[in-house]
Amino acid sequence: MDGVLLIDKPAGITSAEVVRQIKARVRPARVGHLGTLDPFATGLLPILIGEATKLAPFLQGGEKEYEGIVRLGVATDTLDPTGTELETAAVPQLTPEMLSEVAARFIGRIVQQPPLFSAIKREGVRFYRLARGGAEVEPPPPREVEISRLLLDAPDAVSIHFVAACSTGTYMRSLARDIGVALGTVAHLAQLRRLRSGTFALDEAMALARTLDELAGENANRVLIPMRRALAAMPESEADAAVVRRLRHGDSRGLDGLAPAGATLFKVVSADALVAIAEATSRVTARVVRVFGADD
In the chain the domains, ranked by start, together with CATH numbers, are 3-61+199-226 (3.30.2350.10), 64-194 (3.30.2350.10), 234-291 (2.30.130.10)
Predicted confidence at residue 69, as pLDDT, reads: 98
Predicted confidence at residue 217, as pLDDT, reads: 84
d(CA 48, CA 50): 7
Region of 266 please: left (phi>0), alpha (psi -120 to 50) or beta: beta
Report, as residue numbers or ranges, the catalytic residues. 38
The tally of CA atoms less than 13 A away on the side-chain side of residue 247 is: 28
Predicted confidence at residue 147, as pLDDT, reads: 98
Q: Tens digits of per-residue pLDDT, 34-84?
A: 988 999 999 999 999 999 999 999 998 889 999 999 999 999 999 999 999
Task: State the sign of the Cα–Cα–Cα–Cα dihedral 195, 18, 127, 54.
Answer: negative
User: Is this model's pTM higher than 0.85 or not?
Assistant: yes
Predicted confidence at residue 296, as pLDDT, reads: 38
β pairing state of 3-9 and 206-207: parallel
For the chain, residues with pLDDT lower than 50 are: 294-296
Predicted confidence at residue 267, as pLDDT, reads: 94
d(CA 164, CA 88): 25
β pairing state of 187-197 and 64-72: antiparallel
Q: Which amino acid makes up residue 127?
A: F
Predicted confidence at residue 33, as pLDDT, reads: 94
Predicted confidence at residue 295, as pLDDT, reads: 41
d(CA 157, CA 154): 7
Tell me the H-state helices in 60-168: 96-105, 127-132
Predicted confidence at residue 221, as pLDDT, reads: 84
d(CA 109, CA 146): 4
